[in-house]
Chain A
């Protein structure tokens, strides 16, 4: 039997549709990482699974019991779920030991000694036995988060939901928290992790869900998602692609403005000045080459320039379209240098994977910057 089953989950806030129908089945032992851009609904999804947000439609089953049924004992079902928060949410007026033991004593009827013993055992696994009597405000973020994980483990949950467990931490403390989660993963605990730590997701998860547009846009094994994403938004996300586009409508277009915008785009993503210069040069030569040869005499034209920068491999891809006569600027012999074709020569030497296509009166060119 599946630990969590979600069917047709929908949630909107006012007019904003955050989740547009999520279906998910989590089997025991699965470790699911949810990735996606901010605002894609991944945190809201976790909150819905905990019923902290009431879904507008859909059903949620936890360990076979329907959480969304009208007269169900929510508190009882919630004990099967553990939740670890971005902001830790330890009880600030209790010390660590009280934080850990209060729920099992009051809800599971555990004796105080048994609860303390169990708590000390868990603290030992995360290396924090010395902090048993400390108050949360005196602990670092990483320590607080490790204790928060222990707190949810005290209830013996069937599954733990992690809502960006390292997003509020200093970079120096991320490691210690990830180490604890890794350890739980090795023990075979079922978990759902919303995270921005891609390497961690890849290493720990058995399945990756990529959220976009309020739905599970693509899912698969870490290798499938990270090495060979299939759908465009997944590809853009995994390759950390950044876009720049520019349109030209007349012969006397503002070249300086375009170059300035390319410069800003390049600076924003830390492109080297050499790369930036080459990019600008290519764009300029290509544009003039095409204006001259495809729309001679006309003043109205339509050119679009799309630049895609992938942070992952530091590559630049340029897509160019130009309405007019068919013309391929690189359809020449570059063996002997020719002053007449200086622009095309420059283009030839700076580009690779060049392709040209002509259809419906539009030249489509794409290439990568060498």
Chain B
């Protein structure tokens, strides 16, 4: 049996490709939703964290250190087998909540470090020209924050996609789980798993590509 036949047997035959595609879709869904919610929640957390309201500040700090200091799989199992066990919530929803909370902590920290790297003088310059606090934020802080935070945010996204590979533990059939199943079924772990990795790699490069497109080229 030739190599191409082997590839055909593993990845295409008997609707194998459809199963893999379904797994990929689940991975993409969980990643995308978690990223969206996580970024929103993370921005809010960062706002609390750098704000002046003491209780919120402390709450955000505690939240961030707990979430960042514990493995995401533990958090996922805690939610699935513990907190949401009796609610009958769909496993995917639980995964989205978990990864959103996890991403939020990371996003909050990366935003905070970007804020610290920001040049306060430019905001003051905007204020003295007559811009209001909110206008100065939109005009100076936001675009510069985005520029500073982008490279770190990009790797956060790629990390998130890879972290979601553990959702198989809570009965979700994502890309990793599908690849695992296929490897057992076909008895060809080497080729199957390398194939799976290539798909993850492609996903990561897709993310890099999208970020690259948003890079504004500057005229000198």
Contacts and interface: CB of A to CB of B under 8 A. Distances in A.
A91 B122 contact: yes
Contacts, number: 67
Contacts of A85: 121, 124-125
Contact residues of B: prevailing secondary structure: helix
A232 B194 CA distance: 82
A139 to B, nearest CB: 11
A90 B139 CA distance: 12
B125 A83 contact: yes
A103 B129 contact: yes
B130 A93 contact: no
Nearest to B126: A91
Given A133-B219, A134-B220, A138-B220, A89 B129 contact: no
B80 to A, nearest CB: 43
A92 B216 CA distance: 14
B147 A93 contact: yes
A92 B119 contact: yes
Contacts of B131: 75, 103, 106-107
Contact of A75 (B119, B124, B132, B139): B132
Contacts of A87: 121
- Chain A, interface size: which category? 20 to 34
A78 B135 CA distance: 14
B147 A106 contact: no
Contacts of A89: 119, 121-122, 124-125
Contacts of B135: 106
A133 B219 CA distance: 8
A67 B81 CA distance: 60
Contacts of B219: 95, 133, 135
Contacts of A91: 122, 125-126, 139-140
B4 to A, nearest CB: 51
Interface of B: 119, 121-122, 124-132, 135, 139-140, 143-144, 147, 218-220
17 contacts: A52-B124, A52-B127, A75-B127, A78-B127, A78-B128, A78-B130, A85-B125, A89-B121, A91-B122, A92-B144, A93-B147, A103-B129, A106-B131, A106-B135, A135-B219, A135-B220, A155-B129
